[in-house]
Amino acid sequence: MNITRDFAPPFRLIAPFFLIGVLCYGLSMLLLFSFESTATFSQLTTVGWMHLFLLGFVMMTIFGAMAQLVPVVIEVGHAAVDFFYIIWPLLTLGTLIMVTGFFTLPVLLPYGGLLVLLSMVVFAADLFATLRRGERRSVVISSIKASNIFLLVGILSGFIMALSFGGVLEIDPQPWLQAHVYAVFGGYVLLTIMGLSMILLPMFGLSHGFNDQPILWAYRLMVGGVSIIIVGSLLSLLLLSYAGIVAVFASVVSYGYQIYLIERKRARKENDIWAKSLAIAFMSLALSLLLFSIYLLGGGERFLMSGGWFVTVGFVGFLITSHLYKIIPFLVWFERYAPLVGKQDVPMLHEMVPLREATMQMYCTAIGTGSVGIALLVHSNTLFYGGVSVLVVGGSFLLYAVYTMMHYGKEVL
């Protein structure tokens, strides 16, 4: 059978993104042993860890997912799908050099930053060229466009800081730091998650007929909020920055309400590993909002650290791992079994997930995430290292599960 692939890039193109993504996840969990429960965001090692997790795991897997999802959302093939073959090597190398720079050799930061910047420019070039080919308009497509503009703003501001840390440029990094954090995390990561949630959650949960106004508000508030924060930071207008932060909070609340509406209309009631992981992700998001609120009301940096932990590892981490159990089986199935449909029995997608290991991953990661989050709050090293140990075990199960899914049915070919 001649398989039509306009909407589905080949597995060998996307697989490295997921494989390197989970390897970076495992490495970032291991690196936590080099921290203490009193860690702060002002430590370069903390910043280095965040870059390993966000660039190596989060961005890497988001890029892999976007390679698959952008064509089906826009309903046209990629403008330059082969670009993805150079994105992951650039991003991997850039991330590793940057992390090394943050941990030991700051002089390396501009070089790592340049490679990361290049990878994102290549990604954005394909994305915007693909968007130009499509005719559909929706809040999802708008969020993809806006998020990638923020990505470029965020990476450029990050690169300017990398030049500063590397001793190439003399600037006050503080305003650029705030612009960088909000542009990348709020403008790119959260906005992308909002857009993808509107595709993936109704698709896997078979939710239909829900009100989608909250996501429209979430999108507007996030775009407006992050823009205001960037301007406020760079012009040192504190009040403007606070107004932007309030808008970002309101956006996340509106997004949470949208998720609640989608969940209420979920026809597929099965509480599988995807649904349970998502539940943990959204509980973490709610908890992080509470912790960030306490921090903004003067609660101290431990609330910022704990909130940051729950939103990155708890929310974003679980949101991604939950979808790995859906997306990887699909990609493998599409590659190995789609040509056999109608000729022989083919497996269902859920049969390709190693259930026992995936379940262990979910429980270990949930216990570890909770323990470390509390440890950062109460400054307990015992709890911190206990939590990290469980997270490393969870990371090992994730690696095993991803490896198993990727090799499922390899003998078929």
Partner 1 sequence: MNNVTKEEVFQAISTVIDPEVGFNLVEMGLIYDAVIDDENNVHVTMTLSTRACPLHQMMIQWVEEAVMKHTNAASCKAEVVWEPEWSFDMADQHVKDKLNQFANRSI
The residues that touch partner 1, with contacts defined as CB under 8 A, are 1, 3-4, 6-8, 68-69, 72-73, 199, 202-204, 206, 208-209, 267-273, 276, 330, 333-334, 337-338, 341-342, 346-350, 355, 359
Measured from the CB atom, the residue of 261 and 346 that comes closer to partner 1 is: 346
Measured from the CB atom, the residue of 209 and 298 that comes closer to partner 1 is: 209
Separation of alpha carbons 32 and 312, rounded Å: 14
**Residues forming beta bridges with residue 355, ordered by sequence position:** none
SS3 of residue 170 by DSSP:
coil
Min. distance of Cβ 342 from partner 1 in angstroms? Answer: 6
Measured from the CB atom, the residue of 38 and 142 that comes closer to partner 1 is: 142
Min. distance of Cβ 284 from partner 1 in angstroms? Answer: 19
Measured from the CB atom, the residue of 185 and 282 that comes closer to partner 1 is: 282
Residue 354 has phi, psi (to 5 degrees) of -70, 95
Min. distance of Cβ 13 from partner 1 in angstroms? Answer: 14
Min. distance of Cβ 66 from partner 1 in angstroms? Answer: 13
Measured from the CB atom, the residue of 290 and 338 that comes closer to partner 1 is: 338
Separation of alpha carbons 349 and 281, rounded Å: 23
CB 17 within 8 A of CB 60: yes
Q: Please name the residues in contact with 315: beta carbons below 8 A apart, sequence gap of 6 or more.
A: 281, 282, 284, 285, 288
Min. distance of Cβ 406 from partner 1 in angstroms? Answer: 17
Min. distance of Cβ 192 from partner 1 in angstroms? Answer: 15
Measured from the CB atom, the residue of 205 and 225 that comes closer to partner 1 is: 205
Min. distance of Cβ 294 from partner 1 in angstroms? Answer: 34
Measured from the CB atom, the residue of 266 and 379 that comes closer to partner 1 is: 266
- Mind spelling out the 3-state secondary structure of 259-325? HHHHHHCECCCCCCHHHHHHHHHHHHHHHHHHHHHHHHHHHCHHHHHHHHHHHHHHHHHHHHHHHHH
Separation of alpha carbons 372 and 187, rounded Å: 26
The residue written with tokens 């954090």 in the block is 181
The residue written with tokens 């808008």 in the block is 247
